[in-house]
Amino acid sequence: MSFIAYVKKMATQSDNTKLKAFITQKYLDLARFDEVFQYPKPKSKTLTGITQEIAPGFDVYKHTDNSSPAIWIFRAPDTKIALLMDNGHQVWINVAAFLPGISQGSAIYAIAAGYARNNNKVFIVDPSGLSPMAYYRRLENMISSALKYQSTAHLQPCDPYTNTYKYYVNYGLTGVELEQFTGKRLLWKDDDFQFNLIEMLRLAYTLVSRDFPDIKYYEYDTTKQQFIDLRTNAAVDRADLAKAFGESLQRSPRSNSGGGATAARAILCHTLLRKLDSGRLDHGGKFVSGKRPHPSLRRIFY
């Protein structure tokens, strides 16, 4: 069975508990190490305190009026501005002014998710709209947050994911820009962490593998604890993966984006699917075989 067939199988066979439990446990085994995350799990409940824990280089202050929702303003080290809105039970962000790869937009995602988690709120999609590029980045950030907290109770994907094609028709996309979302939909069940995690992994892997067909040449070797290029059996690092993924994205007409960590996360999923394809459910190896993660896995999640 092909890898994509297995991915679809995860979404369509709700009774396949063994397969889902296998993949979930492999990810949770990895997520128990703080080193695999770029940002810590904050202890504070205030936005000021959480920002200090996650991104101490950011300035944060509350808008002075008493409007609802409350608006918090973040200034990144490169002086770009992001906003966080809080209506009392839901929070959302606007990072449209941030420069990809420069302004640390993932830090704002981590701050918003941590704030929602620590205050029993829900981190939703910006009601004013989610750009096609933000669609890809938010999904990757949701996966990281779900693994970090081993919960999806503080997350809500909303229409851009649960009713994707119709959402982007109304958003105004046409042609190739709209085609990239054909058939893409995230199923979601409140209070069902395993179901939601598998769904997010399925969609993220589908999107990356579509724009990075050479992913089939890479695997995470659980014995050597490193990423390898199966064509040469040589070890590859995050920079190698970023170069290969970046070159593939340049040939794609779609809005997907990402670097070495995005490719590496997809390769972990690909590795598990390959082991499932060979029938090695009980002999899949561990992403971490020692007491600490291999350097190739550090900071792989946000």
Mean pLDDT (whole number) for 237-265? 87
Q: What are 6-19's pLDDT values in tens digits?
A: 555 555 554 467 78
Average pLDDT over residues 136-162: 96
Q: Mean pLDDT for the chain?
A: 89
Which span out of 61-70, 114-123, 163-172, 215-224 was modeled with the highest average pLDDT?
114-123
Hey, what are 123's tokens?
């981190």
- Please, how many CA atoms are within 13 Å of residue 58, restricted to the half-sphere of its CB? 29
The three-state DSSP-derived secondary structure of the chain is: CCHHHHHHHHHHCCCCHHHHHHHHHHHHHHHCCHHHECCCCCCCCCHHHHHHHHCCCCEEEECCCCCCCEEEEEECCCCCEEEEEECCCEEEEECCCCCCCCCCHHHHHHHHHHHHHHCCCEECCCCCCCCHHHHHHHHHHHHHHHHHHCCCCCECCCHHHHCHHHHHHHHCCCHHHHHCCCCCCCCCCCCCHHHHHHHHHHHHHHHHHHHCHHHHHEEEECCCCEEEECCCCEEECHHHHHHHHHHHHHCCCCCCCCCHHHHHHHHHHHHHHHHHHCCCHHHCCCCCCCCCCCHHHCCCEC
**Between these two residues, 124 and 276, which has the higher pLDDT value?**
124
Question: What's the pTM?
Answer: 0.91
- Cα distance between the two ends of the chain: 32
Share of the chain above pLDDT 90, in %: 68
66, 54 Cβ separation under 8 angstroms = no
The C-alpha atoms of residue 144 and residue 300 are separated, in whole angstroms, by 9
pLDDT at 283: 47
Which residue(s) pair with 81 in the sheet? 75
Work out the pLDDT band at 62, boundaries 50, 70, 90: very high
Cβ atoms 225, 294 nearer than 8 A: yes
Confidence of residue 273 (pLDDT cuts 50, 70, 90): confident
Tokens of 25: 């446990």
Q: Pairing mode, if any, of strands 234-236 and 226-229?
A: antiparallel
Which tokens go with 271?
């590795």
Place of tokens 């920079």: 239
Given a contact cutoff of 8 angstroms between Cβ atoms, the answer to whether 87 and 35 are in contact is no
